[in-house]
Structures are given as structure tokens and as C-alpha cells.
Amino acid sequence: MEPLCLIPGQPVNACARKLYAEKVLGHVDLSADWAGWRLRGRWLISPDGDRVNPQRLRGMLFREANERRHKAGLKSGQQGAAVIALGIVKTTRQQLPDSEP
């Protein structure tokens, strides 16, 4: 249970204003590793003032994940290509007739 911030008959205090901003307006100031970042309704706002909505954040994370998968696929594909190329060279050398008698 949250403490009672608004006392009937008393003026609105800072605790009540903060609680209203968080619960009704969705305004949250983040802390620790997220210091400087804020939530304002559906917007995540960076310390520089850049706004990111949930759809854009999902899109950025999706793109980053796909780029990682793509790079991992290229690395494994390059290693496989080298092995295949060596196999072709060995096979070709074995099939060539000797030029010396």
C-alpha cells in the first residue's frame, strides 16, 4: 500500500503531484543506468531529448537482431566456403593426369 500523499483539507503537496504524474500521466524519471532518461506517456525520451515510441524501439531491436544473425551467417558461410574450395582443389589435383612419364 502506498503512503497517503494527499491529505483531505490540506493543499496538494509534492508527493501527491509526483504520484499523479506517475500514475495518471505516465511520467517517470528513470534512475541508475538509465539516469537522464524519462518516460512521458508512450514516449521514452533520451537525455538529449530524442523521443522513441514503442514501435520504433521494437523496430530498432528487430533490425539489430537481424544484423547480428546476418553477420553470424556470413562468418559461418565464409568458413564453409574455404573448406569446400580446399576440397575442390584436392579433388582436381587427384584427377589431373601426370605430365611426367
65-88 pLDDT, tens digit per residue, is 999 988 887 766 555 455 555 555
Cross-sheet strand order for the sheet of 27-29: 27-29, 38-40, 43-45, 51-52
Residue 12 placed within a domain: yes
What is the percentage of the chain residues whose pLDDT exceeds 70? 70
The string of pLDDT tens digits covering residues 39-72 is 998 999 999 999 999 999 999 999 999 999 888 8
Residue 98 placed within a domain: no
Our count of domains for the chain comes to 2
| Number of helical (H) and strand (E) elements in the chain, helices listed first | 2, 4
C-alpha count within 13 angstroms, C-beta hemisphere, residue 39? 14
The answer to whether the pTM exceeds 0.85 is: no
Residue ranges making up the domain that contains 22? 1-52
Q: Grid coordinates standing for 33?
A: 543506468
Residue 78's pLDDT is: 56
Q: Grid coordinates standing for 82?
A: 574455404
Mark whether 66 and 83 lie in a shared domain: yes
CA distance 21 to 8: 19
User: pLDDT at residue 99 above 80?
Assistant: no
